[in-house]
Amino acid sequence: MNVPAVLPSKLDWKMVVLCAFSLSIGWGVRGNFGHEYGAMLPGCLTAIAICLMSGREDWRERVHYFAMFGALGWGFGGSISYMQVVGYTHMGSVPEIVYGFLMLFFIGFLWGGMGGLGTALPAVVDKERLVAFFKPLCWIFAAWFVLNMALPFINDWQNQHAKTWSRHESPLYWFDADWIQAVSALIGLFLFDLWDRRKEGGTIFLHAPLVSLLAVVGGAIGWGIQKAIDTAGLNGTVSALFVRRQGDLELARKQAEELALTSDKTAEVIYEEMYNNFLINWPQFFLDAPQTVGIIFGVSLALTVYFFLFGKFRSGASLFVYMASGWLISFIVMPTLLNLHITPPRADDWAGITGVFIGACIWLCRNKLVPVVYAGCISGIIGGLGFAGATWLKLMLMAPGNPHRLAGVDTPEAKASIETWNHWQGSNWHSFLEQSYGFINGIAIAVALGLLAMRLPAVKNTTEKAGRWTEVFAVSFVLFFVTLFNARKNVPEWIKRKLIPEEMQIPLIDIEPWSTWHWYHIFWLFGAFAGIALLAHHVKKERLAFIPESWLGKGQLLYLVFVWLVCFFNFERAISYFGAGRLLTEGVITINTVFVTMMILLWPPTKTHRVEGEDKPYGASFKRIAVGLLIALGVTVGGMSFTKHMVYGDSFAGHAGENYRFGPKANWRIKSIVLGEDHR
């Protein structure tokens, strides 16, 4: 029961510690599973910890929403490629070092910023709006489900081997980014909007034909314009303005001239062959089916105009429209048209996530949810400083006895130092980076939400509409599906190491065997369906005895089940090759899991805060954020870059690939992604 009390006057150090350890655990596990689903793990854990440690009963009643939206917010950063940027900081060249630390700050800002937005959303919006978000979210998830079912067939459209190392052979390849997911999210939102307006001015059967007709007209106009350009002989001029080959054409020309000396082909012929194998700055099917370009742009423009003029996008769907549109606009403007790339030739999802962050912030400000933006900016700045800082700390700790740093020193002392620190140098320093960066990110989100807890008024936790199903959805999403999408990645690992067979036959029935991959999903989904049914029974019919009555108890149960599930399936992945090197990973993660188990049970305050009144304006707060951003950039670019170069000089630090961003050895020059070669 709520107990009236004053706002907490200071940041609770216990909240900071628990969040730091929670995100460190999740981040260490994320390093094993990767990408968006892996990044959801730390986001979920930390959001629950914040909610329980806040001492605010109005937040604790939303612990399941905190878990889900925290997972989604942190998941966005999982699409960003960053290992090449880490590699830049290991180089001896000053431009690479400075650029590496600066870009690590930028990527960390995006990751922490999106995590802050997602975690803060349920802390700020009223229950009515929070519940409404679930409808459009379900349409987006449905669109992604259909996409995942259809994508293998689409990828096989042109190339039967469009797998990991030849994914650029796919006609849908576009800077190795998640543009299809952004487009499919918009399609899901468009369909939701049509469905949501089915009772206004007619039915969906009236809206759908109109949209279809506009799409046909738009496609026809686009095709006509493209045909007119071709007829006028302006195709080359237009292509020169908007289409670029991705690679160093001057280097290719020199290589062609060298190859021509020992070939029966001329340099021009060889160069033309090399030129045609370079990728372009648009989806690759623009080259394979150029006649469709005008149609695609025409249809896209027609649909955009229609939904801009007539779309309602209620139930918070407009937020997701801003985010998906921001992804596409930013991606088209920066890497596609302006040729801006952070880690060429790696993926450019960073541009899309930049657009998502900007689009979300614009929507939040327009809808008077500035505190969410405030939390995102604080989390982003500390997260950016943390990513660069964790890398810097790793480099400093790697310095003693580093054979690369001492390579040019031929003295007995240097040789003795290398020998003494040999075991130290053999540690899993990448895991150290992952877990230490996660620790700092936990501090970032704890500070951001802790400050909100000290100033936000109580949020409304009642709704006029039936929204109990969203509680079941949120818990199920976290416990059954976030875990599934990560744990199932163990199956290929077990098969590769011959721990289990690739196929297994149903006992007693003589039919074709099923793949182990399918068996794993079958058993997991059986458990998931049972869990969902029990949750639905608990919410709609009768409370299950093992689920506590208090929201604090419910949150603790959710946290403990989730964190130990994560700990177990992470250990399962490594068990087949576990050795001394894994003690810094699975060993530390297990110990930390024991620690957070004790923290989550002992530390959450039993005396809760109930807050009345209104929040203060954020003008002065954002001025302080701007100053903090400048200071953080100065520390990152000046302090970290200078001290790294001072310690290592012009030596390569090792423990990473040699990655160059500038000069004749730049990765994008000598390792360009070309057709017919592996995508590394």
Is residue 510 exposed (0-12), middle (13-18) or buried (19+ Cβ within 10 Å)? exposed
Instruction: Flag whether pLDDT at 172 surpasses 90.
Output: no
The vertex-358 CA angle with 128 and 482, nearest 5°, equals 60
Lowest mean pLDDT among 259-273, 505-519, 587-601: 505-519
Confidence tier at 301 by pLDDT (50, 70, 90): very high
Lowest-confidence pick of 6-10, 232-236, 432-436: 6-10
Q: Which long-range contacts (CB under 8 A, 24 or more apart) does 267-274 make?
A: 274/674
DSSP state of 292: G
Whether the predicted pLDDT of 466 surpasses 90: no
The stretch 582-591 carries a mean pLDDT of 83
User: What is the total residue count of the chain?
Assistant: 680
> What pLDDT is attached to residue 11?
84
- pTM surpassing 0.85? yes
| 399: exposed, middle or buried (Cβ count in 10 Å: 0-12, 13-18, 19+) | middle
Q: Check residue 105 and give its pLDDT.
A: 97
Render pLDDT for 388-437 as a digit per residue (tens, 0 to 9): 999 999 999 999 999 988 887 888 888 899 889 988 888 888 888 888 99
Lowest mean pLDDT among 111-120, 266-275, 456-465, 496-505: 456-465
pLDDT for the residue numbered 161: 46
Determine the 3-state secondary structure of 105 from DSSP: helix
Beta bridge partners of 475: none
Reading the block at residue 298, the tokens are 């025409």
Measured from the Cβ of residue 256, the count of other Cβ atoms closer than 10 Å reads 21
333-372, pLDDT tens digit by residue? 999 999 999 988 888 999 999 999 999 999 999 999 999 9
DSSP string, 568-630: HHHHHHHGGG--GGGGGTHHHHHHHHHHHHHHHHHSS-SS-B---S-PPP-HHHHHHHHHHHH
Q: Is the pLDDT of residue 445 over 60?
A: yes
Q: What is the overall mean pLDDT for the chain?
A: 89
Asked if pLDDT for residue 463 goes beyond 90, the answer is no
Where is pLDDT greater, at 69 or 248? 69
Q: How many other C-beta atoms lie within 10 A of the C-beta of residue 663? A: 10
Q: What average pLDDT does this structure show over 473-497?
A: 92
Residue from 69, 75, 78, 53 nearest 119 by CA = 69
Q: What is the mean pLDDT of residues 235-257?
A: 89
Q: Is pLDDT above 60 for 155? A: no
pLDDT at 1: 40
How many Cβ atoms sit within 10 Å of the Cβ of residue 346? Answer: 24
The answer on pLDDT for 528 being more than 80 is yes
- Digit-coded pLDDT (tens) for 206-224: 677 888 888 899 999 999 9
Cβ-Cβ contacts under 8 Å for 241 (sequence gap 6 or more): none
Half-sphere exposure of 141 (CA within 13 A, CB side): 11
Helices (H), 248-369: 249-260, 267-277, 285-288, 293-310, 317-331, 349-366
Q: What span, in angstroms and rounded, lies between the C-alpha atoms of 418 and 221?
A: 70
Average pLDDT rounded to a whole number, residues 40-57: 94
Identity of the amino acid at 171: P
Arithmetic mean of pLDDT, 598-615? 79
Secondary structure of residue 198 in the 3-state scheme: coil
- Residue indicated by tokens 């740093």: 405
